[in-house]
Each structure stands twice: as structure tokens, then as C-alpha cells.
Amino acid sequence: MNFLVIKCGGSIIDQLPDNFYDNIAAIQKQGDWKPIIVHGGGKLINDLLKQTGVKTEFVDGLRVTTEEVLDVVEMALSGAVNKFLVRKLMARTDAYGVSGLDGKLLYAEPVANADKLGLVGTVTEVNTALIEQIVSQGNIPVISPLAGGKGNSRFNINADLAASAIARALHAELCFISDIPGIYRQEQGQKQMLTNVTDRELKQMINEGLIKDGMIPKVRAALEALEHGAGKVTIVNGLADDSLLQLVEGTVAGTTITLSEEAHHV
């Protein structure tokens, strides 16, 4: 199977046009690619945290997660956001909503700086058999980025990194849906969109402070996916008509990230 992991950020989900969901259904029905949705829920999580009076903060683009925060995160991701996406897709095709906690779909360990980030995890195992079973039954998996761990533990997983781990495990192509056409770089005082960029160039841009905030985990997730077996990684504008169809047809106007020649020979 050719899998296409599509990561939808929480900040863009409520802006996505019907055409976006039409594209996903069309890709599934064409049969060459099997789409898998991994979603965030940052906007709703922030709203719910504010409503419940639970404080939160970010470190390097990742949410510091206490038990209180994680309760809200799970409610937002596996409840509201996941089911919203499933309903949108079910109007067009068959979809199956699942949390990374269900069926041990995602298993994680604490991140290295857990003393700063709290209950944030790094995915170490992906239950690919469960994903393949959902797909084989004609469904599009819609996955919320929570993970189980040792004992009764649970973790908040950055959605970009969860999508990366799933793409690596399935040797899938990975697509990040954004509200911008791709990655930009300042050149001669003007912003220029990069249509193609290598891992080495991106690492240099991070070191120079040209990639910041929420884009950092997205870029790191893309690099991690490429370095551990995923296929092509692309960032596309989900608000543009037929952007996903253009992606599978090879005519997308986003940013494609590839490994440099040096990385290929390591």
C-alpha cells in the first residue's frame, strides 16, 4: 500500500474548505494512495484551558503538559476535534476516528526534557497492523495524537511529531497542511517561498533563527521522518483548491523537503 499521512494543525481545521475533504475522499477512491489523517487541536485546547482556568505555556513550540492540562487536551483532541473531522469525511466517504491510546496505536516514552515539558512524550512504537486493518476495511483513519506508555501512563504528543512517527513506521509520504503555501526565506529584503529545500538548509535556517515558534516542531518532524524511512515530505496550503490532488499528481506548489546528498550516504 502507498500511504499518505496528512497532518492537519488545530489552528487551521476550522478554516479548511469543503474542497479539502472532497480531495481526501477523491484520493481514497482513486485507490493509488491510502490517506491517513493526524490532527492537532491547539486552538480549541487553548480556548478550553482558558475557560477552565488551567494555565499553560510553551517551550520551543511544545506545550508544557500537567495532568490538568492533559485532561483538557484529551477532551479536545479525542472528543471534539476528532469527531468533527470524522463527520466531515463521513459525508463523503468512510472514516474511523481513533486516539493514539486506543489499541496501543501509539506508545511513547517521556521526552528528554520532561522536567520542563511534563507529560509530553516521544513516540517509540506505532501499531501499524491496527492502521492497516482500519484502511483495509475501507476507512480513512483519523488519529488524535495521544499515546500510552509504561504502566498506566499517557502522554501528549505534538501532532507534527506523531504524524512523523506514523509516516516513518509505514514508510509513507507525509504532508503538513498549513495556512501558508510553504516555507519562506528572506532574500534581499523580500520573502521568497522555497519550493524545494534540503535537510541541511533547514537546519541552518533554524540555527540562524529564520524558522521560529510553531514552525520549529513541524520542520523537525519533517527531518526526523525523512531520516528514518519516510518518503517525500511536503508542506502545502490546505486553503487552496485541490492542493491535495495536486500533491498526489506531482504538481503541488508547496515546499518539498528532501535529504541532502550527504545524508543519503551516512
Binding residue per annotation — 200? no
Binding residue per annotation — 118? no
Rounded Cα distance, 261 and 264, in Å: 5
Rounded Cα distance, 37 and 97, in Å: 9
Binding residue per annotation — 149? no
Dihedral over Cα of 86, 128, 236, 60: its sign: positive
Binding residue per annotation — 168? no
| Backbone phi and psi for residue 229, each to the nearest 5 degrees, phi listed first | 110, -5
Radius of gyration of the chain (CA): 18
Rounded Cα distance, 55 and 80, in Å: 20
Which long-range CB contacts under 8 A does 131-137 form with residues at least 24 apart? Answer: 131/36, 131/105, 131/166, 131/170, 132/1, 134/96, 134/98, 135/1, 135/3, 135/34, 135/36, 137/94, 137/96
Strand partners, 200: none
Beta strands in 118-250 (DSSP E): 121-126, 140-144, 146-148, 154-156, 173-178, 183-187, 190-194, 196-198, 233-237
b (16+ CB within 10 A) / e for 205-219: bbeeeebeebbebbb
Q: Which of 140, 145, 132, 29 is nearest to 89 (CA)?
A: 140
**Which residues belong to the annotated binding site for substrate?**
41-42, 63, 156
Residues contributing to the annotated binding site: 41-42, 63, 156
